[in-house]
Chain A
Amino acid sequence: MDAYNNKKTDNEFYVQWHFIDSCNLRCKHCYQNGYNNKNIDFDILNAIFKKLDEAMAKWNMKCYVSLTGGEPFLKPEGLFYLIDLIENSDNFKNIAVLTNGTLINDELIEKLKTYKKLSEIQVSLDGHDEKTHDAIRGDGAFLKTVSAVAMLKNSGIKTVLMFTLHKKNAASASKMPELAASLDIDALTVERMTTMNDKEKEEFFIEAKDLKKIYFDVYEKSKIEFKNRNTKLSTSRPLWNLIDENAGGYCPIGLSSLCIMHDGTLLPCRRLFLPLGNILTDGLFKIWYNSDILWNLRKRSGKNECAGCSHSDRCGGCKAISYYYNHDLNSKDPQCWI
């Protein structure tokens, strides 16, 4: 019986922490149901942070944490409380903030700039124009968000755009690189919406053959628009490897990432609503070591339908989309076109 640790010191663990569930928008594709406008419980935030900090130290890993909500800037006191804790821990490497951008102002930006570990602000933009974006996120959202992006860029903070792709904004996808270039942002991510039930599938799901064309168009358009610029297309997620053999990545859920909800509930991923337990009552070690859901996600062979695919090292599909479409975490991604 030998002590076992296969983690190298440069290994990264990714955490997406939804520290509040209140939000100022009601986006049509949002996977959130409750929006309780609760006050921040600093004791809960601190207790969750300590559990994470302890686990990173034990595993000899560095945590990259994305702080989000709801809308994180709706409760800046909670956001900055967490950023302060993370900034002062050696077990945390970087911080990102995921936001809709509508509440960002100069005062917040000045405070954000003081943190060394803040690596980027990710702003959601779901259309290349006001009509498309506001139809999803509500009137006036586009102008506020674009204004926030400009302010962030002017401040020197790395700013990336997240475009959540679905049937309602599919026509906008290939126009996003042009907008991203005009805003001089650092990176554009195009990521598929996870449709979680039949109603959402009917309304939002893009068939594989259509997705192939959209990804191809976005990729080719980005090459043109981002030429001689610092803007990049983020292609580290599943299916991008089918467009470019040097792109794409195997989804880290179950292996080196987790999602934490505001009350301490742990999920494999925010888009895969399969509660694993609660970090506050169960502890992180017990959940990470024993969850049957996580062990099922860790399978790379056997019943994993992607096991024999030549792209499996840098793809493997989206487990959440597979789960909600096929009721099987290890089935083929229904939007895979090969």
Chain B
Amino acid sequence: MLKLSDTVSIKQDETYYIFFDNATGDIYKLNEISYKILSLCDGRTTNENILSTIMQEFNVTEQEAKKDFEALIQKLLSKKYIYDNE
């Protein structure tokens, strides 16, 4: 199951969804779906459950949810911002 690295964090403030790299100081703006996906990368929620939640909460098809999910996760895995704890 996917989990955010200890050196990163996410935050929803009054205006933005934000992703922080606490080691380098880099900041990224997230959209609402990406924020929701990352908030579920807690090391306990399965990828299937993340996708299912996205489909329900944002009223998107499985294909659309998978596309967003995989694009985001591949990017974050390559930067080691998330890891698979299994």
Contact = CB atoms under 8 A, between A and B. Distances in A.
Interface in A238-291: 283, 285-286, 289-290
Nearest to A59: B25
Contacts of B25: 54-55, 58-59, 285
B80 interface: no
B29 A4 contact: yes
Interface string A294-305: 010011111000
A284 to B, nearest CB: 8
Measured as residues with beta carbon below 8 angstroms from the partner, the interface class of chain B is: 20 to 34
A2 B26 CA distance: 11
Interface string B24-53: 111111100010000000000000000000
Contacts of B9: 286, 289-290
Nearest to B9: A290
B72 to A, nearest CB: 7
B20 interface: yes
B13 A295 contact: yes
A325 B22 CA distance: 34
A1 B18 contact: no
B14 A3 contact: no
A4 B18 contact: yes
Main DSSP-derived SS at the B contact region: mixed
A283 B22 contact: yes
A36 interface: no
A285 B11 contact: no
B20 A289 contact: yes
23 contacts: A1-B75, A2-B29, A3-B27, A3-B28, A4-B18, A54-B25, A58-B26, A59-B25, A283-B22, A285-B22, A285-B23, A285-B24, A286-B9, A289-B20, A289-B22, A289-B27, A290-B11, A290-B20, A290-B22, A298-B13, A298-B14, A301-B14, A302-B14
Contacts of B11: 289-290, 295
Interface of B: 9, 11, 13-14, 16, 18-30, 34, 72, 75-76
Measured as residues with beta carbon below 8 angstroms from the partner, the interface class of chain A is: 20 to 34
A2 B20 contact: no
Given A1-B75, A5-B27, A58-B26, 9 more contacts: A1-B29, A2-B28, A4-B29, A283-B22, A285-B23, A290-B20, A290-B22, A298-B14, A302-B14
Interface of A: 1-5, 54-55, 58-59, 283, 285-286, 289-290, 295, 298-302
B34 A1 contact: yes
Contacts of A54: 25
| Most chain B C-beta atoms within 10 Å of own C-beta, residue among A54, A58, A285 | A285
Contacts of A285: 20-25
A299 B14 contact: yes
Nearest to A1: B28
Nearest to B81: A1
A295 to B, nearest CB: 7
A54 B23 CA distance: 11
Nearest to B16: A4
A300 B14 CA distance: 9
| Most chain A C-beta atoms within 10 Å of own C-beta, residue among B14, B24, B75 | B14
B33 to A, nearest CB: 11
A286 B18 CA distance: 14
Nearest to B18: A4
Given A285-B20, A289-B20, A290-B20, A3 B13 contact: no
Rank and list the top 10 A-B pairs by shortest CB-CB distance, nearest first. Answer: A58-B25, A286-B22, A289-B20, A4-B29, A285-B25, A4-B27, A1-B28, A285-B22, A2-B29, A290-B9
Contacts of B28: 1-4
Contacts of B23: 283, 285
Contacts of B29: 1-4
